[in-house]
């Protein structure tokens, strides 16, 4: 028998090697369901070497339906002792051999101590000769829901929880899937990236709606490694447990047990399933599903179902957290690439950038402003096509090239953008972008003139001090990166004192609910109404007033005013 040294330390009489004299296959699993011991007979029957078994999750690796399909944990009767303790046996279960064939087995499972934890299990099995399923196994398979409803709930759980990459939305959908269908209360505890615990949701269903108990939510005490309380074990990723107020009536072994005792008292729960929410590599939290209004307690079959739901929720939350980390990296990179605006006498400049509100995407929106020779200010607003890290990376390249070309001399905006277009096509594969590049020039009279060219971007808005507004639609041409060689042109306008120019990306005006023209009209109306307020608050106020509620894109905006 192959036995790891750490398992031998907690296994009594290990030196007798009685398991190698067994005619039955034998393997031992820890509280997480991982195989830590396997005998030679099990290797032969399963046609798998010990090295391919040790450390693997026994259920995921071996347990199958009668047609070889993966077996949902909620239907696996061999896992009962891991959840409830004690001993179980059966006559007809299927294990997958190393060659892909199926072995029908009779089996006995009993709990035992592994590595100091009393929640391991010893499994003995041999090839079955009877097709009859034991009454015990049939009893375990029943629960609060009929089998078809259970399967439908699991299918809906998978579909619903994987439809969003937002962790908050995933939790909201999880609660609505299980309450009130399975229980009266749902409690979600999450492990934070800093190693702490947060009670993210305590929700009950009353008067036809879901109600949060915010007084029971918030930061939680840490989870001690040695705690044997159900919630502590679930947060460490150990198997799900049936629990009730009685589990927390004795002396608490940690502060978190006191919080859980208060939870049972405040909610009136008399029966609960507490299951770990496991990600790909480790536990990310725990779900407590409780009953207070309905009198019947949870059964082992209910616990198996809740554990399966929590496992699927864990994968969805893991994906959401991973996506959120990637989005933060991209957003941080994007924010650091956006420049500090220069201070120029006689000109007020402000800018803002806002990522997509549902944190679903990161785009290539950017603004830029820089001082050029001859008392000229270069102004840029642009958007690289796409919503991902590639778009943010492409934005950095295009932004830096434009700044470099603009600083080489006093060439017109159309010449600079034409040169940029050729460079984008040559060195940035599959990158396309829209951009407005303008030169704000101070005339001998002291007034200002704006010269610009537009490569496929929404036109800047000019707001005059006399109350008139105008979109600067001249100077248009196709976007960058198409491979075409258009003849780009410049346009110009003199800016009297009190003029305000608003340069923006399409996320400010586009909406699923109204046309682009309506969005531009809204921008014009709001910019005129806000143009005379103190400049320091103008940009944010305009963004708040104009940005559509259903916006799903980033927004960048650059505002220039001639006092």
* CA 86 to each of CA 72, 134, 142, 465, 473: distance values in angstroms, whole numbers, following the listed order: 22, 17, 19, 83, 79
Q: Do domains 5-140 and 147-327 have the same CATH topology?
A: yes
Number of other residues whose CB lies within 10 A of the CB of residue 331: 18
Contact predicate 220/197, CB 8 Å: yes
Answer whether residue 127 shows pLDDT above 90.
no
Q: What percent of the chain has pLDDT over 70?
A: 88
User: pTM of whole model > 0.75?
Assistant: no
* CA 534 to each of CA 87, 463, 464, 556: distance values in angstroms, whole numbers, following the listed order: 76, 15, 16, 20
- Decide if domain 147-327 falls under CATH 3.40.1010.10: no
Q: What is the DSSP letter of 112?
A: E
Closest residue by Cα to residue 85 from 280, 212, 195, 233: 233
Q: What is the pLDDT of residues 132-168, one digit of tens each?
A: 333 334 444 456 677 767 777 877 888 888 788 888 8
Q: What is the pLDDT of residues 91-109, one digit of tens each?
A: 778 999 998 888 999 888 8
Phi, psi of 259 (to 5 degrees): -65, -40
Report the Cα 206 to chain-centroid distance in Å: 29
Of 279-283, 406-410, 539-543, where does the model show the most confidence? 539-543
Closest residue by Cα to residue 173 from 324, 358, 313: 313
Residues composing the chain: 563
* Span 216-234, average pLDDT: 89
- The burial of 513, by beta-carbon neighbours within 10 Å (0-12 exposed, 13-18 middle, 19 or more buried), is given as exposed
Closest residue by Cα to residue 478 from 404, 553, 397, 414: 414
First-to-final CA distance of the chain: 86
- The burial of 126, by beta-carbon neighbours within 10 Å (0-12 exposed, 13-18 middle, 19 or more buried), is given as middle
- The residues with which 561 forms a beta bridge, in sequence order, are 348, 500
What residue ranges do the domains of the chain occupy?
Answer: 5-140, 147-327, 338-561
Closest residue by Cα to residue 288 from 318, 317, 267: 267
- Decide if domain 5-140 falls under CATH 3.40.50.10610: no
Answer whether residue 267 shows pLDDT above 60.
yes
- Give the per-residue pLDDT at 197: 93
Q: What is the pLDDT of residues 426-483, one digit of tens each?
A: 775 667 899 999 999 999 888 999 999 999 999 999 999 888 999 999 999 999 988 8
Mean pLDDT of the chain: 85
Q: What percent of the chain has pLDDT over 90?
A: 42
Q: Is 85 left (phi over 0), alpha (psi -120 to 50) or beta?
A: left
Number of other residues whose CB lies within 10 A of the CB of residue 229: 23
- Give the per-residue pLDDT at 134: 39
* CA 545 to each of CA 352, 498, 505, 541, 548: distance values in angstroms, whole numbers, following the listed order: 14, 21, 15, 6, 8
The CATH superfamily label for domain 338-561 reads PPM-type phosphatase domain (3.60.40.10)
């Amino acid at each position: 028998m192959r036995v790891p040294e750490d398992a031998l330390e907690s296994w009594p009489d290990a030196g007798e090697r009685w398991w190698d004299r067994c005619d039955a296959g034998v393997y031992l699993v820890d509280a997480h369901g991982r195989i830590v011991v396997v005998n030679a007979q099990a290797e032969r029957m399963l046609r798998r070497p010990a090295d391919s078994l040790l450390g693997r999750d026994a259920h995921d690796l071996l347990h199958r339906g009668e047609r070889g399909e993966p077996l949902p944990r909620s239907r696996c009767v061999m896992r009962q002792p891991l959840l409830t303790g004690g001993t179980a046996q059966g006559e007809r279960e299927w294990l997958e051999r190393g060659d892909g064939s199926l072995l029908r087995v009779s089996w006995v499972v009993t709990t035992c101590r592994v590595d100091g934890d009393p929640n391991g299990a010893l499994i003995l099995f041999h090839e079955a000769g009877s097709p009859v399923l034991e009454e015990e196994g049939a009893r375990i398979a029943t629960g609060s829901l009929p089998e078809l409803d259970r399967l439908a709930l699991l299918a809906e759980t998978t579909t619903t929880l994987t439809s969003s990459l937002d962790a908050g939305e995933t939790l909201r959908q999880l609660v609505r899937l299980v309450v009130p269908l399975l229980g009266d209360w749902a409690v979600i505890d999450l492990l934070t990236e800093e190693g702490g615990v947060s009670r993210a949701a305590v929700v009950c269903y009353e008067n036809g709606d879901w109600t949060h108990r915010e007084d029971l939510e918030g930061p939680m005490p840490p989870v001690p490694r040695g705690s044997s309380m159900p919630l502590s074990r679930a947060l460490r990723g150990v198997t799900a447990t049936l629990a009730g107020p009685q589990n927390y009536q004795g002396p608490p072994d940690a502060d978190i047990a006191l919080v859980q005792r208060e939870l049972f008292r405040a909610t009136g729960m008399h029966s609960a399933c507490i299951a770990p929410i496991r990600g790909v590599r480790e536990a990310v939290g725990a779900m407590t599903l409780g009953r207070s209004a309905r009198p019947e307690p949870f059964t082992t079959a209910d616990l198996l179902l809740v554990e399966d739901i929590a496992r699927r929720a864990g994968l969805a939350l893991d994906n959401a957290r991973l996506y959120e980390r990637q989005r933060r990296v991209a957003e941080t990179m994007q924010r650091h690439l956006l420049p500090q605006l220069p201070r120029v006498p006689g000109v007020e400049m402000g800018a803002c950038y806002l990522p997509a509100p549902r944190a679903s995407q990161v785009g290539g929106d950017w603004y830029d402003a820089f001082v050029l020779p001859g008392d000229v200010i270069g102004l840029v607003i642009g958007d690289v096509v796409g919503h991902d890290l590639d778009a943010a990376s492409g934005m950095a390249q295009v932004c830096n090239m434009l700044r470099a070309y603009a600083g080489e001399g006093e060439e017109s905006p159309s010449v600079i953008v034409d040169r940029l277009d050729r460079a984008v096509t040559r060195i940035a594969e599959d990158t396309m972008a829209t951009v407005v590049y303008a030169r704000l020039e101070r005339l001998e009279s002291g007034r200002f003139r704006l010269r610009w060219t537009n490569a496929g971007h929404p036109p800047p808005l000019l707001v005059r001090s006399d109350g008139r507004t105008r979109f600067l639609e001249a100077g248009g041409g196709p976007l960058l990166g198409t491979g075409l060689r258009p003849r780009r042109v410049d346009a110009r306008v003199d800016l009297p004192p009190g003029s305000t120019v608003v340069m923006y990306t399409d996320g400010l005006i586009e909406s699923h609910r109204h046309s682009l023209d309506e969005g531009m009209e809204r921008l014009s109306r709001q910019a005129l109404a806000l143009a005379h307020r103190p400049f320091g608050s103008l940009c944010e106020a305009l963004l708040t007033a104009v940005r559509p509620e259903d916006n799903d894109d980033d927004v960048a905006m650059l505002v220039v005013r001639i006092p």
